[in-house]
Amino acid sequence: MLCRWLIVTLIVCGWLMPATLSAANVSRIGIKGADDRVVMDSREYPWSAVGRVNVITGLRTRGHCTGTLIGEALVLTAAHCLYNRLTQDYVRAGSVTFVAGYMRGEWLTDAKAREIILPTGFDPRVPPDANNNANDWALLKLDRDIGREVGHIGISPLGPENFKRLVDRSTVFLQAGYSGDAPHVLSAHINCQVDGFFKGQPVLGHKCDIVQGDSGSPLLVWRDGGFRVLGVNITISRGYNKALSTVVMFNQALRAGGLTSPGIPRGMRPPRRTVYEILKQKFPEADNLPTAMEIWAGKGGPAVPDELDIPYLGRAMEDLRK
């Protein structure tokens, strides 16, 4: 019954829902044209701060969504991920685990939720509408400060009034999540299309490739020397997929201990895979990372560094659409 209900919800209602189905049964209406998702190394920052939100809903039932560390012990995800349809209630905090850096059965670290912060205006019992979309967010307070180990990502309060000021033609959007059809790896869509806000809603319309399991996953940009979360994915449709703007929960996140600046831990794995996927967007002829960096250096980019770091990755992000 649960699996059948989830399939109906995905197709008719549009919520992504926690992934509990087999990969073959995951709806793909959130994939726009060709599937542009690539597998990222979840041990590299910023992906180390994007993890699986594992939810226990019963003795033998489990699901997962995606969440993002926005503080040392604070995770941003979608509210509907935490609602149990069988009990008609939200799950308890102790039933939720955030797993950071997960990849094929291994992970960097994990922590239990000790508290769940939910908005007052969200009703998970009804299909998505303008009001529900505007309130489909949740914050998880963790029982350990794992953001010190794997990093955390800043959030920026992006609203319709400052969208054009903060986002221009050179802005590169990233989306990454634990998709239901590939739940054991982190899949990302690099340089995906975000067109702006739906009229009268704090909701961004985009065509980043997402499916069930990507609920709660972040829309990221590089701004002011670091990665920033601009939105959290909530629904899919045959037109635009939807991400709730961080302007909605920004103040609540600050009060709960969220930080507005990124936290990059020392000793993290160099972002080799991420840099390569970014540069391959600009230089598709490059079949490996050293070649991509040499091509970029020969066309006005920075000299090939001895060791990759986050500033070099940021420079690649900034240069992608020039």
Decide if 265 is inside a domain: no
Decide if 40 is inside a domain: yes
Same domain, 62 and 153: yes
Whether 259 has a pLDDT exceeding 70, the answer reads no
Final residue of a domain: which of 201, 222, 256? 256
Q: How many structural domains compose the chain?
A: 2
Final residue of a domain: which of 204, 231, 256? 256
Say if CB 217 and CB 251 are below 8 A apart: no
Same domain, 166 and 312: no
Decide if 167 is inside a domain: yes
Sign of CA dihedral 172, 178, 180, 182: positive
Same domain, 312 and 193: no
Decide if 241 is inside a domain: yes
- Domain with 304, as residue range(s), is 272-319
d(CA 153, CA 71): 7
CA-wise closest residue to 92 among 115, 73, 108: 115
Decide if 133 is inside a domain: yes
Length of the chain in terms of residues written? 322
Decide if 37 is inside a domain: yes
Share the mean pLDDT of the chain.
86
Identify the bridge partners of residue 71 per DSSP, sorted by sequence position.
74
Same domain, 116 and 25: yes
Say if CB 214 and CB 177 are below 8 A apart: yes
pLDDT in tens, 108-149: 999 999 999 999 888 888 877 777 888 999 999 999 999 999
What's the confidence (pLDDT) of residue 200? Answer: 82
pLDDT in tens, 138-172: 999 999 999 999 999 988 887 777 777 666 666 88
Decide if 262 is inside a domain: no
Whether 261 has a pLDDT exceeding 80, the answer reads no
Same domain, 205 and 285: no
d(CA 256, CA 279): 37
Q: What is the 3-state secondary structure (H, E, C) of 214-263?
A: CCCCEEEEEECCEEEEEEEEEECCCCCEEEEECCCCHHHHHHHCCCCCCE
Same domain, 63 and 189: yes
Same domain, 248 and 289: no
Whether 312 has a pLDDT exceeding 90, the answer reads yes
Decide if 263 is inside a domain: no
22 vs 259, more confident: 259
Dihedrals phi, psi of 107, to nearest 5 degrees: -150, 165
Peptide bond into 46 cis (omega under 30): yes
